[in-house]
Structure 1
């Protein structure tokens, strides 16, 4: 057994005008932006799948344009999560899973099911939603993570429910959202959203050092001692985990530079 899981660090999407001339070299043709981005970060979270259906040919193209060890996470469609009754999301989930995501093959990472900030925790309905999430698509194993933004999820019942279905929870540094770090799957999914314009790479060096150290602890199967748990008494198996860290929001023009700086720290042993 490996002593540590892989740590992948990336950004949200790859089409963003302010990155042109900074992250992307001057004059780089837009059709080559994914190829460039995927050789400077190790994962990308696809945002377009949240807003509409993508073509199978697009997933296949993205697979072919990126390095062998690259991984795409993606958002599940808003039509599945932005609804009053989550238990009724089955047809929407089925359409999404059958839309060609399996064309990413071994580059298919976790699917992030993002809940609206107004969506409160209703245990029975939420469990019904988790039960709808399929284990595979066209023979490709699927991993799922949920992003919640309502304070009602701050209860030990929530990570216990996720662990029962082997679904992860998004960990975030945004103070306005639930702030907890209970691993509930065999991977960890982090979305960092506090990059600042005045910082050269978005985050202060000491903060990036902390996140590099935390990622290394998670990858080795441990729990960072400086991060809170909703249920400190719940037994968490110490086993290597794959870790995904995405620089998502805050001052977005700095996101690629924050990601590359974190990758550099991890490369020299966190």
Structure 2
């Protein structure tokens, strides 16, 4: 197992000339991305959930071993707010099944104002298919209870560690046999880049809390100006310096 490092999304116009060659057609961007990184977080699925055929089409374009994490539709997390999860979770699971063996974790990013309800959380997590990895990004302080921690731990669901401004946005709970980290915005220049101090800190946290046998998914969401790809490359280098196996692509 290894540390898998990528970015939250890949279709950013300002990456042209920074990461994507100027004349590379946008329809080939995913293939170019997959030659440089072993994983991506499909952030766009949050706004509009693609159908199964679209996910299957992405699968056919991705190399063996590549992993696509998927951010759950806002219909489930923001509109339904985890209530009546059967239909939205089933629809999500059916759609992402098109990825086959390229499917990685599902991320549930909860609204900042959604307060804790551990029974609601448990019912939602239980609707996912057996073996499906689910990470939850909690964004209201009421979620940090023993009941919530137990719900997550019993289902091997990962508390999504997140960073903004070089600071953790949540308690660094260890609830799963695997890890999920999102880095939203650094304080180095050019904005919103992360500097080595912050990157080294997160590398050490992962290394100290998860053994080398654990999968650790790391995604940079600071896409502006190509900061995410530069930081992803540097994070991989720093993790290797700690002696950790870092997944690589066939460039």
| 1:84-123 mapped onto 2 (5 Å cutoff) | 86-99=82-95, 101-123=96-118
* 2:245 maps to 1:265: no
Output the CA distance in 1 between the equivalents of 2:190 and 2:150: 38
- Displacement of 1:197 in angstroms is 6.2
- Structure 1 equivalent of residue 122 of structure 2: 127
- Structure 1 equivalent of residue 248 of structure 2: none
| 1:38-49 mapped onto 2 (5 Å cutoff) | 38-49=34-45
- Displacement of 1:84 in angstroms is 5.6
Output the CA distance in 2 between the equivalents of 1:75 and 1:252: 22
- Displacement of 1:212 in angstroms is 2.5
Output the CA distance in 1 between the equivalents of 2:191 and 2:71: 29
SS of the residue aligned with 2:139? coil
Q: From the superposition, tell whether residues 215 and 39 of structure 1 become closer, same or farther in structure 2 (CA, over 3 Å).
A: farther
- Structure 1 equivalent of residue 227 of structure 2: 254
* 2:137 maps to 1:147: yes
The TM-score, its normalising length taken from structure 2, stands at 0.87
8 A Cα contact 1:7 1:219, kept in partner: no
SS of the residue aligned with 2:104? strand
Aligned residues: 242
Q: From the superposition, tell whether residues 181 and 40 of structure 1 become closer, same or farther in structure 2 (CA, over 3 Å).
A: same
8 A Cα contact 1:219 1:241, kept in partner: yes
8 A Cα contact 1:46 1:74, kept in partner: yes
Q: Which 10-residue stretch deviates more, 22-31 or 175-184?
A: 175-184
Output the CA distance in 2 between the equivalents of 1:155 and 1:210: 26
Q: Which runs of 5+ in 2 are unaligned?
A: 245-251
Match of 1:6 among 2, 23, 31: 2
The TM-score, its normalising length taken from structure 1, stands at 0.81
Output the CA distance in 2 between the equivalents of 1:201 and 1:52: 26
Match of 1:62 among 45, 50, 58: 58
Match of 1:81 among 69, 77, 81: 77
Q: From the superposition, tell whether residues 60 and 258 of structure 1 become closer, same or farther in structure 2 (CA, over 3 Å).
A: same
* 2:210 maps to 1:210: no
